[in-house]
Amino acid sequence: MSDSLSLYDTLLLAVRKANPDEDPRRQRVFVWAVVGLLMEKTISLPALALVIVSAAKAASRVRRLRRFLANTHVNVRAYYDALLRQALVGWTAATLYLVLDTTTLAGKVVILRVSRVYRGRAIPLVWEVYERKSVSLPFAAYKEVLAHVNTLLPPGARVVLLGDRGFRSTTLMRWCRKQQPRWHFRLRLKGNQLVTLADGREQRLNQLGLRPGQIGFLQDVRLGKERYGPLAIAMAWATTPKAEPWYIATDEAAERQTVSEYSWRMDVEQEFRDDKSGGFQLEDSRLTDPTSVSRLLLVMSVANLHLVSLGTFVVEREQQQSVDPHWL
């Protein structure tokens, strides 16, 4: 049996088990798209079509893939959620670190994604695609996304949400606090953020005198003219070239661990590189319709889920030498 057929059979079995009520014809096309992505390392539809084992001509196979991406009957969450829950059961942890981030595709659509940081990678949990140019989104645009994330996570797990300056919203902070004791946040603030310090003084963060190589902590702080809080802020400035100061708001005590936790947000940048120029070549799809892009992200996310699951299996059984040339 060829590699593509063997992989196809394995994935099709998992997809049918996770979503048994879905049309099997759509499932077959979907699985071939995932297999094609895993083998060709590009989301280009003509490249994916080459992997499909079929008597149909190449043009016909490409049309089949396009129809799947445009099919309004394809429920992205129905496909993905059950597969994700199966994986999350095996990836247990007392604390789950989630990254909230955005990226733009072709300057026409914005992808918002919530991912779990796991073994140095970011595993997509939920995403939404918007037809807009600006990556700055109001809380109302992604409130439902966060609510859906809550339904996917294992019960009892502690959650820490990591977000960059685009998510410094006090509305988001309030939402996290309403989910407590489960949810907590580490959200980066802008340097010109006005704060009220514990002693009552008002200052902007970039006026506190932080220098490269320094780290500091503020407790019992309030934000802006509305004096939202109390919260804490961890401040850090690396000495690497082009490094910028970090001002990280947290609902818990600010400490060195706060800075370390926020740094894990950088794992999502690797994820987006994998999706775009660094791996799966998302931009090669040339899609700009939000719903079609969302279905394409479904293909990519399942491929990513498969790779991480496979890697976890190998590492846990100490079989790295069978797949990693660095172990030779």
How many other CB atoms sit within 10 Å of the CB of residue 92? 9
Q: Is residue 105 predicted with pLDDT exceeding 90?
A: no
pLDDT tens by residue, 130-144: 999 999 999 999 999
Same domain? For 28 and 149 the reply is no
- Name the residue among 186, 163, 184 with its Cα closest to residue 268: 163
Using the 3D structure, point to which of 26, 58, 74 is the last residue of a domain.
Answer: 74
Q: In which domain, by residue range, is 59 found?
A: 1-74
User: What's the mean per-residue pLDDT of the chain?
Assistant: 89
- Please check the confidence at residue 306 and state whether its pLDDT lies above 50: yes
Q: How buried is 258 (Cβ within 10 angstroms: 0-12 exposed, 13-18 middle, 19+ buried)?
A: buried
Whether 109 and 13 share a structural domain: no
Q: Based on the domain organization, do 3 and 131 belong to the same domain? A: no
Decide which of 275 and 283 is more confident. Answer: 283
In a domain, 247, yes or no: no
How many separate domains does the chain show? Answer: 2
Whether residues 98 and 182 share a domain: the answer is yes
In a domain, 85, yes or no: yes
70 and 86 together in one domain: no
CA neighbor of 231 nearest in space, from 190, 186, 164, 284: 186
160 and 30 fall within a common domain: no
Query: 125 Cβ partners below 8 Å, 6+ apart?
Result: 84, 98, 113, 114, 115, 116, 149, 152
The pLDDT tens digits for 51-61 are: 998 989 999 99
Do 265 and 156 lie in one domain? The reply is yes
164/52 same-domain check: no
Taking the C-alpha atoms of residue 16 and residue 24, their distance in angstroms, rounded to an integer, is 8
**Residues 85, 68 share a domain:** no
Q: Residue 172 belongs to a domain with what CATH number?
A: 3.30.420
In a domain, 222, yes or no: no
The pLDDT tens digits for 176-211 are 999 999 999 999 999 999 999 999 999 999 999 999
Tokens of residue 63, six digits: 């049309």
Q: Residues 143, 69: one domain?
A: no
Last residue of a domain, one of 218, 234, 269: 269
Q: Are the C-beta atoms of 123 and 305 separated by less than 8 Å? A: yes
pTM above 0.75, yes or no: yes
* Strand order across the 95-105 sheet: 121-131, 109-118, 95-105, 158-163, 183-188, 246-250, 228-236, 215-223, 194-196, 202-204
Residues 92, 57: one domain?
no
| pLDDT (average), residues 85-104 | 85
Both 98 and 179 in a single domain? yes
Distance, CA of 62 to CA of 66 (rounded, Å):
6
